[in-house]
């Protein structure tokens, strides 16, 4: 990891979620992620947590794996949060090395005037080529 700029990696990761053009967005997924990479949404939406609790199930995490599924995930998040032009994702602070080949960074979802309306933390485990093997995304951690 000595040759990886972890802040540049975090910037490219967030640029992927903000990218309006599907082709460059797909290209970023394929450049950033290992072929079998996975994103795990650790804290699913509140309605899912409530439903699981009512059924006496543990709160589930949500996972997508592989380039195609990741492309769909990023596309859907773009459509939901960025496409209308009201929000974008930005890095908050500096990325941090947690362990060998494991980094973390915080991010915010901001309005066009810079008001923070959401955010979270991503913990990325990288392969030997510096591509994302797993992304544990924690929403709402400020």
Residue extents of the structural domains in the chain: 6-139
pLDDT category at 142 given cuts 50, 70, 90 is low
pLDDT category at 1 given cuts 50, 70, 90 is low
pTM of the model: 0.90
**What's the CATH code, domain 6-139?**
3.10.450.50
pLDDT over 80 at 108, yes or no: yes
Region of 71 (left: φ > 0; alpha: ψ -120 to 50; beta: rest) is alpha
How many angstroms separate the CA atoms of 77 and 18, rounded?
9
pLDDT over 90 at 77, yes or no: yes
Task: Classify 46 as helix, strand or coil.
Answer: helix
pLDDT over 70 at 2, yes or no: no
pLDDT over 60 at 52, yes or no: yes
**pLDDT, position 95:** 97
Higher pLDDT, 55 or 95: 95
Half-sphere exposure of 81 (CA within 13 A, CB side): 21
Q: What is the mean pLDDT of the chain?
A: 93
Q: Which segment of 32-36, 57-61, 92-96 scores lowest on mean pLDDT?
A: 57-61
């Amino acid at each position: 990891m000595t040759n990886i700029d972890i802040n540049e990696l975090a910037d490219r990761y967030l640029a992927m979620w903000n990218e309006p053009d599907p082709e460059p967005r797909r290209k970023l997924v394929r450049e950033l992620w290992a072929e079998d990479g996975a994103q795990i949404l650790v804290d699913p939406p509140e309605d899912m947590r409530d439903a699981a609790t009512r059924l006496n199930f543990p709160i589930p995490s949500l996972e997508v794996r592989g380039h195609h599924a990741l492309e769909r995930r990023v596309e859907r998040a773009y459509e939901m949060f960025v496409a209308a032009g009201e929000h974008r994702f930005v890095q908050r602070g500096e990325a941090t090395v947690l362990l060998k080949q494991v980094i973390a960074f915080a991010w915010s979802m901001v309005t066009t005037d810079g008001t923070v309306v959401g955010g979270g933390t991503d913990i990325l485990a990288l392969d030997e080529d510096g591509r994302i093997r797993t992304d544990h995304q924690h929403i709402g951690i400020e």
